[in-house]
Amino acid sequence: MPILTSLSAYGQWLLANPNPALVSNIATPGCAVANLLTQQINGLLSSNAYVRTSPAVFTSVLGPSPAPGPQAVMDVIASRPAEPVLSRTGAKVISTFNAYPQSTLQVTLDLGADKRWRFCSVQAATDEGSTDDPSVPLI
């Protein structure tokens, strides 16, 4: 669970301090999470906005320990409160990232050449085969 908490916290920090150049620190380029996070960050930058983040809550994590290779797939129960999107000029609420209710998710992590784990996909357990579903913005 510490890896998921750390990756999620860094993703939260990126939404509060948008910089698309840093996405690859927590998400494998070309994977669904990297694509979604980059899209969110670019949208924040174009709107001159940031997110007042709320940490994801990981209730349960089931997966291989240790990971059997360069990819680990875990079943996770997690949730995240709603997060206001604020204007950088005046810090006024301009939108909200909806809350993500407690759900069972399948999380795939990739082990990079630098021996660091990164998100690849986060999908609802009922969303089989839809690894790039942007409706699972857990970070």
Task: Enumerate domains of the chain plus CATH numbers.
Answer: 2-124 (3.10.450)
Residues 6+ apart with CB under 8 A from 76: 4, 58, 60, 61, 62, 104, 105, 106, 107
Summarised one tens digit per residue, pLDDT across range 53-82 is 999 999 999 887 777 789 999 999 999 999
Average pLDDT over residues 112-118: 95
Per the prediction, the chain carries an average pLDDT of 88
Summarised one tens digit per residue, pLDDT across range 38-47 is 999 999 999 9
